[in-house]
Structure 1
Amino acid sequence: MYTVRPFGIRRNEKIACYVTVRGDKARQLLESGLKVKEYELLRRNFSDTGCFGFGIQEHIDLVS
Protein backbone atom coordinates (compact mmCIF):
# COMPACT_ATOMS: atom_id res chain seq x y z
CA MET A 1 0.00 0.00 0.00
CA TYR A 2 1.09 3.55 -0.66
CA THR A 3 -0.22 7.10 -0.63
CA VAL A 4 -2.29 8.20 -3.64
CA ARG A 5 -1.45 11.91 -3.71
CA PRO A 6 -3.82 13.04 -6.49
CA PHE A 7 -6.76 11.73 -4.45
CA GLY A 8 -5.39 12.74 -1.04
CA ILE A 9 -5.59 9.14 0.22
CA ARG A 10 -2.97 8.09 2.73
CA ARG A 11 -1.72 4.62 3.55
CA ASN A 12 -4.14 2.65 5.78
CA GLU A 13 -6.76 5.41 5.56
CA LYS A 14 -10.36 4.20 5.38
CA ILE A 15 -12.33 5.33 2.33
CA ALA A 16 -15.91 5.02 1.13
CA CYS A 17 -17.08 4.50 -2.43
CA TYR A 18 -20.53 5.01 -3.92
CA VAL A 19 -21.39 3.45 -7.25
CA THR A 20 -24.39 2.87 -9.48
CA VAL A 21 -24.45 -0.51 -11.20
CA ARG A 22 -27.22 -1.90 -13.39
CA GLY A 23 -28.14 -5.16 -15.05
CA ASP A 24 -26.31 -8.47 -14.70
CA LYS A 25 -23.21 -6.84 -13.19
CA ALA A 26 -25.43 -5.37 -10.45
CA ARG A 27 -26.80 -8.80 -9.60
CA GLN A 28 -23.30 -10.30 -9.54
CA LEU A 29 -21.99 -7.48 -7.35
CA LEU A 30 -24.90 -7.75 -4.93
CA GLU A 31 -24.59 -11.54 -4.71
CA SER A 32 -20.84 -11.33 -4.06
CA GLY A 33 -21.23 -8.59 -1.45
CA LEU A 34 -24.04 -10.34 0.41
CA LYS A 35 -22.07 -13.59 0.37
CA VAL A 36 -19.20 -11.81 2.15
CA LYS A 37 -21.72 -10.51 4.74
CA GLU A 38 -23.11 -14.07 5.11
CA TYR A 39 -26.44 -12.82 3.70
CA GLU A 40 -27.23 -10.83 6.87
CA LEU A 41 -27.73 -7.07 7.05
CA LEU A 42 -28.83 -4.96 9.99
CA ARG A 43 -31.94 -2.78 10.02
CA ARG A 44 -29.67 0.27 10.15
CA ASN A 45 -28.26 -0.71 6.73
CA PHE A 46 -31.56 0.39 5.16
CA SER A 47 -32.89 3.93 4.69
CA ASP A 48 -36.51 5.08 4.81
CA THR A 49 -36.39 5.59 1.04
CA GLY A 50 -35.46 1.99 0.20
CA CYS A 51 -31.73 2.45 -0.29
CA PHE A 52 -29.24 0.30 1.56
CA GLY A 53 -25.54 0.06 2.11
CA PHE A 54 -23.00 -2.08 3.89
CA GLY A 55 -19.27 -2.10 4.45
CA ILE A 56 -16.68 -4.77 3.76
CA GLN A 57 -13.60 -4.68 5.96
CA GLU A 58 -11.08 -6.37 3.68
CA HIS A 59 -10.07 -5.75 0.08
CA ILE A 60 -11.71 -8.34 -2.16
CA ASP A 61 -12.49 -8.61 -5.87
CA LEU A 62 -16.29 -8.66 -5.95
CA VAL A 63 -16.88 -8.76 -9.72
CA SER A 64 -14.41 -9.47 -12.49
Structure 2
Amino acid sequence: MIKVVLLRSGSRKGELPAIRRALVEKFVKEYGLSLAETARQLWFTTEVVSHMVRSVGDLLSLINYVP
Protein backbone atom coordinates (compact mmCIF):
# COMPACT_ATOMS: atom_id res chain seq x y z
CA MET A 1 0.00 0.00 0.00
CA ILE A 2 1.30 3.45 -0.95
CA LYS A 3 0.84 6.17 1.66
CA VAL A 4 -0.43 9.64 0.78
CA VAL A 5 2.73 11.19 2.26
CA LEU A 6 4.83 9.25 -0.25
CA LEU A 7 2.61 10.35 -3.15
CA ARG A 8 2.96 14.00 -2.19
CA SER A 9 6.68 13.83 -1.50
CA GLY A 10 7.78 13.92 -5.14
CA SER A 11 10.34 11.23 -4.38
CA ARG A 12 12.70 10.27 -7.21
CA LYS A 13 13.91 7.06 -5.60
CA GLY A 14 12.21 3.91 -4.49
CA GLU A 15 9.07 2.10 -5.49
CA LEU A 16 6.83 4.99 -6.49
CA PRO A 17 8.98 6.34 -9.35
CA ALA A 18 9.36 2.78 -10.66
CA ILE A 19 5.57 2.38 -10.64
CA ARG A 20 5.10 5.73 -12.37
CA ARG A 21 7.65 4.83 -15.05
CA ALA A 22 6.01 1.43 -15.61
CA LEU A 23 2.61 3.09 -16.02
CA VAL A 24 4.00 5.57 -18.54
CA GLU A 25 5.65 2.80 -20.52
CA LYS A 26 2.47 0.68 -20.46
CA PHE A 27 0.20 3.55 -21.52
CA VAL A 28 2.45 4.60 -24.40
CA LYS A 29 3.76 1.24 -25.59
CA GLU A 30 0.90 -1.18 -24.92
CA TYR A 31 -2.17 1.06 -25.08
CA GLY A 32 -0.81 3.39 -27.76
CA LEU A 33 -1.71 6.59 -25.92
CA SER A 34 -0.02 9.80 -26.96
CA LEU A 35 2.41 11.47 -24.59
CA ALA A 36 -0.12 14.25 -23.97
CA GLU A 37 -2.96 11.82 -23.18
CA THR A 38 -0.69 9.77 -20.92
CA ALA A 39 0.26 12.94 -19.08
CA ARG A 40 -3.40 13.89 -18.63
CA GLN A 41 -4.37 10.44 -17.33
CA LEU A 42 -1.54 10.38 -14.79
CA TRP A 43 -1.68 14.09 -13.82
CA PHE A 44 1.88 14.64 -15.11
CA THR A 45 3.20 17.26 -17.48
CA THR A 46 3.89 16.19 -21.06
CA GLU A 47 7.55 17.06 -20.45
CA VAL A 48 7.76 14.59 -17.55
CA VAL A 49 6.18 11.82 -19.64
CA SER A 50 8.53 12.56 -22.52
CA HIS A 51 11.53 12.40 -20.19
CA MET A 52 10.36 9.07 -18.73
CA VAL A 53 9.85 7.59 -22.18
CA ARG A 54 13.31 8.70 -23.30
CA SER A 55 14.84 7.20 -20.19
CA VAL A 56 13.05 3.88 -20.82
CA GLY A 57 14.21 3.65 -24.42
CA ASP A 58 14.15 5.32 -27.78
CA LEU A 59 11.24 7.77 -27.95
CA LEU A 60 10.46 7.14 -31.60
CA SER A 61 10.36 3.37 -31.23
CA LEU A 62 7.77 3.69 -28.45
CA ILE A 63 5.65 6.28 -30.25
CA ASN A 64 5.66 4.26 -33.48
CA TYR A 65 5.11 0.98 -31.67
CA VAL A 66 2.48 -1.22 -33.34
CA PRO A 67 1.11 -4.00 -31.12
- TM-score scaled by structure 1? 0.35
- Larger Cα Rg: Structure 1 or Structure 2? 1
- TM-score scaled by structure 2? 0.33
